Amino acid sequence: MRNGLLIGMMFSLAPAFGAEHMSVAVCNIGDLPAQVIERAEAEAGYVFQSMDVEVRWTGCGAEVDAADARLRPDFIVRVRVGGHLPKAGATSLEAMGRAFMNVDGTGNMADVYYGAIRELANLYPVAGSEQLMGYTIAHELGHLLIGAGHRPNGLMRAALSKKELEALNRRHLKFNEAEQAAIPAQVAVAYGWRR
């Protein structure tokens, strides 16, 4: 009985010790106000935190090219100011961001296009452009972690409509269940070595 209680306690404590982390350097190429970047990081960080993955945001300084791989960020996200929506209506996330994937399905760099993001946020003013940029960053990091494909539901869907913007404004837009299992596992496998 006493052993059972002890094991139960260990399991209940496990998430606190089990949280994975990954580092993401955000390169503010378009020179957006720092506050915009910080708000986007907070939104993207929330999405990962809800899966017990802590994102450590870094700047885009010399560490990005550090000779020692342990000092380099796990991912680099470049924020660009350009980009336009191809049409009104449900908008392909490809207009708002792009993950650069290697042939083996991995990658460590993505771009997000603040111009297109702001256009969609203006079209459906139910969510802010910083919020939408945060979810676009989370989507592209999702590609870099679990591959190029899109899913019919959740954050890895191919396009966003007003409905998804309303959901993300309430922080209800998340990775789907399978992705919520796959992403922390991938972070542990790929980046757990630095512990």
* Three-state secondary-structure class, residue 103: coil
Stretch near Zn ion under the rule CB under 5 A, chosen from 27-35, 87-95, 107-115, 185-193: 87-95
**Residue 90 to residue 160: CA distance in whole angstroms:** 5
Our CB check for Zn ion shows the closer of 94 and 166 to be 94
Burial of 46 from C-beta contacts in 10 A (0-12 / 13-18 / 19+): middle
77 lies in the binding site for Zn ion (CB under 5 A):
no
Q: How far is the CB of 33 from Zn ion (least distance, A)?
A: 26
Piece of the chain touching Zn ion by CB under 5 A; list 16-24, 53-61, 86-94, 160-168: 86-94
CB of 86 to Zn ion, least distance (A): 15
CB 80 within 8 A of CB 112: yes
> Scanning residues 114 to 133, which ones bind Zn ion (CB under 5 A)?
none
| C-alpha span between 33 and 110 (Å, rounded) | 20
Under rule CB under 5 A, residue 47 binds Zn ion: no
CB closer to Zn ion, 95 vs 187: 95
Tell me the residue nearest to Zn ion as measured from the CB. Answer: 93
Q: Does 155 bind Zn ion (CB under 5 A)?
A: no
| Angle formed by the axes of helices 162-169 and 129-146, nearest 10° | 100
Alpha carbon distance 112, 137 (integer Å): 7
In whole angstroms, the minimum distance from the beta carbon of 60 to Zn ion comes to 22
Do 22 and 74 touch, CB atoms closer than 8 A?
A: yes
Q: How far is the CB of 148 from Zn ion (least distance, A)?
A: 7
Q: For 10-42, give the DSSP string.
A: HHHHHHHHH-EEEEEEEE-TT---HHHHHHHHH
Nearer to Zn ion, 111 or 192 (CB): 111
Check binding of 93 to Zn ion (CB under 5 A): yes
Give the nearest distance from C-beta 154 to Zn ion in angstroms.
12
| Interface positions with Zn ion (CB under 5 A) | 93
